[in-house]
């Protein structure tokens, strides 16, 4: 394993540990880690012998990475999709829709169990077409409002919603950020998650697991 690969792995491990230890500043940790890596690449481009001969060599090529290359690697479609989804979630919460939906659940569902099942199924369906984190942020307030009105702990319902959303989010192209990045790298489109090269796609694997 070459030195630059080891450096990247160590930096990734340190970043992961810091994000787990300091959850309130995770965005700053991620940005700081990215800046350190870009800085190392920029230094490698300007002064290749600074860290020792061969340190930034990957095979027969010399590693160098600057700000312009880093910006070109950003998938702005993913960034804008997440930003738009989060904006929709904010408007959904501000519109007092969670309270209205909790009232409908109370009036239509025979008991608490079926209300939680209904919310979980709804979260799974929405998560197949909306980012799963945004789905949880959208459905969780409904569950919280419902649990508050019937005076029960919201923990079981939130866990069910999160699991359902996370599973179904991986089933389609747009349901999870990881799926979007994977699809871009593998040149997949939306239909490939259902049928790929004549074989069942990721959607059916997720449904079988669920």
- The pLDDT value recorded for residue 66 is 61
| Model pLDDT for residues 47-67, shown as the tens digit of each residue | 555 555 444 555 555 555 566
- The pLDDT value recorded for residue 47 is 57
- The pLDDT value recorded for residue 1 is 61
- Asked whether the predicted pLDDT for residue 83 surpasses 80, the reply is yes
Instruction: For residue 64, give the nearest of 80, 77, 46 by alpha carbon.
Output: 46
Residues contacting 139, CB < 8 A, separation 6+: 119, 122, 123, 126, 161, 165
Task: Report the C-alpha gap between 183 and 192 in whole angstroms.
Answer: 9
pLDDT greater at residue 146 or residue 57 = 146
- Asked whether the predicted pLDDT for residue 20 surpasses 50, the reply is yes
- The pLDDT value recorded for residue 54 is 47
- The pLDDT value recorded for residue 210 is 62
Query: Whole-number mean pLDDT of the chain?
Result: 80
Rg of the chain over Cα atoms, rounded to whole angstroms, equals 22
> DSSP letters along 141-204, please?
HHHHHHHHHHT--SHHHHHHHHHHHHHHHTTSSSS-HHHHHHHHHHT--GGGGTEETTEE-HHH
Least confident of 48-52, 128-132, 142-146, 198-202: 48-52
Task: Report the C-alpha gap between 6 and 16 in whole angstroms.
Answer: 15
- The pLDDT value recorded for residue 191 is 84
Task: Report the C-alpha gap between 5 and 182 in whole angstroms.
Answer: 21
pLDDT greater at residue 65 or residue 40 = 40
Task: Report the C-alpha gap between 175 and 183 in whole angstroms.
Answer: 12
What would the mean pLDDT of 164-185 be, rounded to a whole number? 81
Q: Which of the listed ranges 29-33, 43-47, 129-133 does the model predict with the highest average pLDDT? A: 29-33
Residue 67: phi and psi, rounded to 5, are -65, -40
Least confident of 34-38, 74-78, 123-127, 153-157: 74-78
Contact 45, 20 (CB under 8 A): no
Predicted TM-score of the model (pTM): 0.65
- The pLDDT value recorded for residue 177 is 76
Task: Report the C-alpha gap between 201 and 138 in whole angstroms.
Answer: 28
């Amino acid at each position: 394993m070459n030195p630059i690969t080891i450096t990247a792995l160590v930096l990734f491990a340190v970043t992961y540990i810091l994000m787990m230890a300091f959850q309130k500043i995770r965005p700053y940790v991620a940005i700081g880690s990215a800046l350190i890596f870009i800085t190392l690449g920029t230094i490698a481009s300007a002064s290749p012998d600074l860290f020792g001969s061969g340190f930034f060599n990957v095979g027969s090529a010399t590693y160098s990475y600057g700000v312009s290359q880093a910006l070109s690697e950003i998938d702005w479609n993913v960034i804008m999709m997440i930003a738009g989804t989060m904006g929709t979630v904010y408007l959904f919460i501000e519109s007092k829709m969670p309270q209205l939906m909790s009232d409908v659940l109370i009036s239509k569902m025979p008991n608490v169990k079926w209300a939680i099942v209904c919310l979980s199924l709804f979260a799974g369906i929405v998560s197949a077409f909306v980012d799963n984190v945004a789905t949880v942020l959208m459905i969780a307030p409904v569950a919280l409002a419902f649990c508050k009105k019937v005076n029960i702990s919201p923990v079981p319902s939130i866990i069910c919603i999160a699991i359902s959303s996370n599973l179904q989010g991986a089933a389609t192209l747009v349901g999870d950020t990881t799926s979007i990045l994977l699809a871009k790298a593998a040149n997949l489109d939306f239909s490939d998650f259902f049928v790929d090269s004549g074989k069942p796609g990721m959607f059916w694997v997720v449904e079988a697991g669920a």
